[in-house]
Amino acid sequence: MTDLKPLVEILKPIYGGAFLARIDGKAVFVPLTLPGEQARVRITEDKRSFANAEVEEIVIAALQRVTPACPYFGACGGCNYQHANYEAQLAFKQAILRETLERAGVKAPEEIFVLSANPWAYRNRIRLAFDANGNPGYRGRQSHSIVPIGECPIAAPILVRTAMEAASLLRELNWPVRPTEISLFCNSDESALLLSVFIRTASKGGFEEWMHALAKRSNALVGAELIAQQPSGKSLRTVGEWGWGAASIVYRAAGFDYRVDRGAFFQVNRWLVDALVDRVTNGRAGRLAWDLFAGVGLFARKLADSFDRVIAVESAPAAMSALEHNLQGTTGAAVKAETLAFLRRHARSGNKAAGQSSVPDLIVVDPPRTGLGTEITTFLNEIAAAELVYVSCDPATLARDLHALTSIYTIESLTLADLFPQTFHLETVVQLRRS
């Protein structure tokens, strides 16, 4: 390809936030465009089978194009679709989900159900880095540089306000330790907030003074932690941890008060948590259910109301105490184990010898972005529970796993849960029944 700025037609969305165009048959991935548009682009990376490009000019704009609500959109790496109306965003994600599944040999149902809500101010958690001047911001779209922010339309307002106050106090107090990042997590009504502060120096000097001052400016702040990390090879090693205030908050969701500890995973969209739990658990009852990758028990707590026994399997230390707490007084029991190790133990114990009573009526899996993988899907097929619900945050690994699971299961329904509006990320709930 030459250095000329070619005119291309944008064809369709691609998972990852870009859109597909073609130049002389070669795939060209162009962010910040929309299907049907004609745009002049600048090639930024030219590979043998594809190229990446940036928009120089939108020559013909799509009807779905809107003015982004955020002044940092395009520079900030957090959002991908703010230039499209919300109806178009949902259509992009349905098309990507369907194509990804079918490319893996998984036939998607004719109808993809959609769970959606207010596409703004939905995030209950954000993580910000600090630039050289102590300003908090997000990583840039095309680099690791930091884009300082003063607002974030997709985040709960309390999170950004507290981050700005924290940065202001750092300058006022002249704390000798410079944080590298902060993470903030609030409950659904913004009445309680936890803060995590990351530093590179193994010293907490001044931390408590900073937190006391910040709590006076942000009444929602109930607890914080300071985590000292130092480089160790290609990763970071924790060399010190200190706490201040409460170690957890109460998060009201799906009719229950969940305890969520600092650092524990919880679904990020405060408008859709209830609907997600309902889609996973509604109408399901029986003798035994397994909730694998259970976190703090978001699904297990609800299932405990309709199953005689619920086994919730989780390995993350940050989630275990809260999981045990959230299942107290219910039919649920927390098991500290990696999911694969739990399934191996179940296989070794010989569920055939133990009889059908050891086979769950329902298995819920909510794995990380890496999905289940070959060993876990093989075990799940061998166990052959009557129902399996797969909650996925990555369509590619979901498609791979479904290709294996549909050897014995039939897809009953497929739901796109749009937990991440304005971004390319999508959550999927797949309800499967043993064939």
* Residue 354 confidence (pLDDT): 45
Task: Say how far apart CA 373 and CA 381 lie, in whole Å.
Answer: 12
Angle at 396 between CA 395 and CA 398, to 5 degrees: 60
Q: Could you give the CA distance from residue 54 to residue 42 in angstroms, rounded to a whole number? A: 5
CA 204-205-209 angle, to 5 degrees, is 100
Confirm if 244 and 231 have CB atoms less than 8 A apart: no
Burial (CB count <10 Å: 0-12, 13-18, 19+), residue 428:
buried
Give the pair of three-digit tokens for residue 166: 């924290």
Report residue 173: phi and psi, to 5°: -80, -15
Q: Which pLDDT value is given to residue 4?
A: 65
CA nearest to 201, candidates 224, 178, 173, 170: 178
Confidence (pLDDT) at 352? 47
CA distances from 147 to 89, 178, 266, 271 (A): 24, 18, 26, 27
d(CA 51, CA 77): 20
Q: How far apart are CA 417 and CA 113, in angstroms?
A: 8
Cβ contact 39:59 at 8 Å: yes
Between the alpha carbon of residue 301 and those of residues 20, 125, 333, 389, the distances in Å are 43, 22, 10, 16
Q: In what order do the strands lie in the sheet with 427-434?
A: 113-115, 409-417, 427-434, 387-392, 362-365, 286-292, 307-314, 332-336
Q: Is the dihedral of CA 214, 71, 186, 129 positive or negative?
A: negative
Distance of CA 66 to the CA centre of its chain: 25
In whole angstroms, give the CA distance from residue 250 to residue 189: 11
Quick: pLDDT tens for 334-378.
Answer: 999 999 999 999 887 765 444 456 899 999 999 999 999 999 999
Q: Is 76 exposed, middle or buried (0-12, 13-18, 19+ CB in 10 A)?
A: buried
Parallel, antiparallel, or unpaired for β 286-292 and 362-365? parallel
Q: What Rg, from alpha-carbon coordinates, does the chain have?
A: 23
- What structural domains and CATH numbers belong to the chain? 7-65 (2.40.50.140), 102-117+269-434 (3.40.50.150), 125-249 (2.40.50.1070)
**pLDDT of amino acid 281:** 98
Evaluate whether 41 touches 53 at the Cβ level (below 8 Å).
Answer: yes
Asked whether the beta carbons of 363 and 67 are under 8 A apart, the reply is no
Average pLDDT of the residues of the chain: 95
Beta bridge partners of 221: 193
pTM of the model: 0.95
Give the angle subtended at the CA of 297 by the CAs of 295 and 303, to the nearest 5°.
140
The single residue listed with the structure tokens 């991935």 is 29
8-state DSSP, 380: H
Predicted local distance difference test score (pLDDT) of residue 178: 87
Contact 76, 138 (CB under 8 A): yes
DSSP codes, 32-46: T--TT-EEEEEEEEE
Question: How many residues are there in the chain?
Answer: 435
Helix 157-173 to helix 207-217 angle, to the nearest 10 degrees? 130
- Among 232, 218, 228, 277, smallest CA distance to 251 is for 277
Cβ atoms of residues 306 and 278 within 8 Å: no
Question: In sequence order, which residues have a C-beta less than 8 Å from that of residue 293 and are 6 or more positions away?
Answer: 313, 314, 339, 365, 366, 367, 368
Q: What is the pLDDT of residue 232?
A: 83
Consecutive 10-residue runs of the chain (435 residues): their mean pLDDT?
Answer: 79 97 97 98 95 97 98 97 98 98 96 98 97 94 92 98 96 87 97 96 88 95 95 84 96 98 95 98 97 98 98 96 98 98 87 62 98 98 97 98 98 98 98 97
Q: What is the DSSP letter of 98?
A: H
